[in-house]
Amino acid sequence: MPAKKKLNKPLEGAALIKEVNRRIRVARGYWDAHRNKACRRERDRALELYETLSKEQREKVPQELRVWLRYRSEKYFGDHRTKPGKGKS
């Protein structure tokens, strides 16, 4: 018998903040391990959730994580960077 599927309910409140923190930490772990593709994927997911937070909720995300997310987002994964798989030929 297959396992029961969990219903994906949208996260709210403290659970949303906790998930944002978790995703940023996972992305940092991938970054430290030099796994850029995985880091980019997790950073995108974290950023997507982070942008849904209100101003008060964003203040509850530790500053160290917010700074890391913003710094990596702009410097290494911004629009001015070459996308993966689109190398110079």
Q: Is the pLDDT of residue 5 over 70?
A: no
pLDDT tens for residues 37-73?
899 899 989 999 999 999 999 999 999 999 998 887 6
| pLDDT attached to residue 77 | 67
Q: Which long-range contacts (CB under 8 A, 24 or more apart) does 22-31 make?
A: 23/49, 24/50, 24/61, 24/65, 24/68, 24/69, 25/65, 27/69, 27/72, 28/65, 28/68, 31/72
Predicted TM-score (pTM) of the model is 0.74
Mean pLDDT (the chain, rounded) = 83
Cβ distance 10 to 49 under 8 Å? Answer: no
